[in-house]
Chains A and B, each alone.
Chain A
């Protein structure tokens, strides 16, 4: 066990439910949430939930996976522009790697990200799958 439990718990609202903020000034969605908007110093935001569909902006294939993800490799990791605004970086799963394409439509699913060793907690969050 690594002691990740408290950090993971603090991130539950965004990892489980996609809680984000929208700038009252520019209408831009920030995920993870920000306290100050870059470029204009705005501090007024309203809470929003991310829309769970979007488009793949770019991706890479991870062939040498980091610790805790060794058995998952090779896997696709991408940046997704969500329909209601906001971007997420996450794994693209349930798809053969050769079918991952920039511009593909995806939707967010709830998945297990990793385990904290053999006796620690299960860490859950979001990944994307092709829209079917």
Chain B
């Protein structure tokens, strides 16, 4: 599991749609107590994709930004993997569209990944491993989702949209991958059957036996293989289905707020599923300095976690400004929707004559 090397991230990019809905607006429709969600889950608003956006379009934008930061010819990308649980097609890859839009075809390996919210970090790990194996020079790993929560369900308050893309390589690496860890069991905490429009979940069962067991499991394993302690890291980022779970996981592992707040986007972004911890990582890379170490643990229902230890290098200098940064996308130029507009945007209205 432990690996030392000079392979790592050579470019990164994120994409957040401009539309938002506030928690109060959703709670009002269902007669729920918005204050309870805000306090209990640390959620305030979430991003909503425009009707012409999906995992493919957001992945293209995030990936283009990663290529700009890496400053390479996209034809040299030898593999492209997108992790998502909301791929627009049931059959037909998302990745082919993205690779074609980047100009990475035809000398490019491709497959779509699915592992609830963990698919994005798995795509990153496979991209990293292929570069490490020497099979390809550059490989892209993307995490993106436009997830849906059933109307009135707790998930409707958090399921949001966003994409993060990472180009892995071995030349001009801006953050090296120093160690990785995985922790995975079969745990049915959240699922969606074929043809079901909305997912189902095990309510409270999604907490301790799922999120915390795997996140803490992978986190502890990562400390062990890397022989590190929480104080060795400037930043820590975790899967963020809400604001509360990642804060608690971080503290249980021994991190303080200063270490985990930069990568914690979910209170204002919502849960971007496969994009969640990867987007947090992009927000960290936007502000990181050479020498900073980053601790990252994802989580995906079903269930499993991937862990990474990164060290930021001198090559990070000037990279943030080359493409849109994550925090300004989250904080600026927002359009708020009311529930009716949101329902229309997300296809929740039963239309005459089909969709």
> A residues near B, CB below 8 A?
12, 16-17, 71-72, 93-94, 96, 109-113, 118, 121-122, 124, 127, 132
Contact = CB atoms under 8 A, between A and B. Distances in A.
B57 A16 contact: no
A126 B332 CA distance: 23
Contacts of A124: 56-57, 97, 101
Contacts of A121: 92
B60 A110 contact: yes
B88 interface: yes
B18 A94 contact: yes
B52 A127 contact: yes
A109 B52 CA distance: 11
Nearest to A15: B101
B101 A16 contact: yes
Interface in B83-113: 88-89, 92, 97, 100-101, 103
A15 B228 CA distance: 48
A110 B101 contact: yes
A118 B52 contact: no
Contacts of B318: none
27 contacts: A12-B100, A16-B97, A17-B103, A71-B51, A71-B344, A72-B51, A72-B52, A94-B18, A109-B57, A109-B61, A110-B56, A110-B57, A110-B64, A111-B53, A112-B52, A112-B54, A112-B57, A118-B355, A121-B92, A122-B56, A122-B88, A122-B89, A124-B56, A124-B57, A124-B97, A124-B101, A132-B333
A17 B100 contact: yes
Q: Which 3 A-B pairs have the closest CB atoms?
A: A110-B60, A16-B101, A111-B52
B52 A17 contact: no
B287 interface: no
Given A122-B54, A124-B56, A132-B333, A17 B101 contact: yes
- Using C-beta atoms within 8 Å of the partner chain, give the interface range for chain B: 20 to 34
A113 B51 contact: no
Contacts of B60: 110
Nearest to A52: B64
Contact of A112 (B53, B332, B333, B335): B53
Interface in B288-345: 332-333, 335, 344
B254 interface: no
Nearest to B347: A71
Given A16-B100, A17-B103, A122-B89, A111 B18 contact: no
A7 B53 CA distance: 22
Contacts of B5: none
Given A110-B60, A112-B57, 19 more contacts: A12-B100, A16-B97, A16-B100, A16-B101, A17-B101, A71-B51, A71-B344, A72-B51, A72-B52, A109-B61, A111-B53, A112-B52, A118-B354, A118-B355, A122-B56, A124-B97, A127-B52, A132-B332, A132-B333
Given A16-B97, A17-B103, A122-B89, A93 B355 contact: no
A94 B50 contact: yes
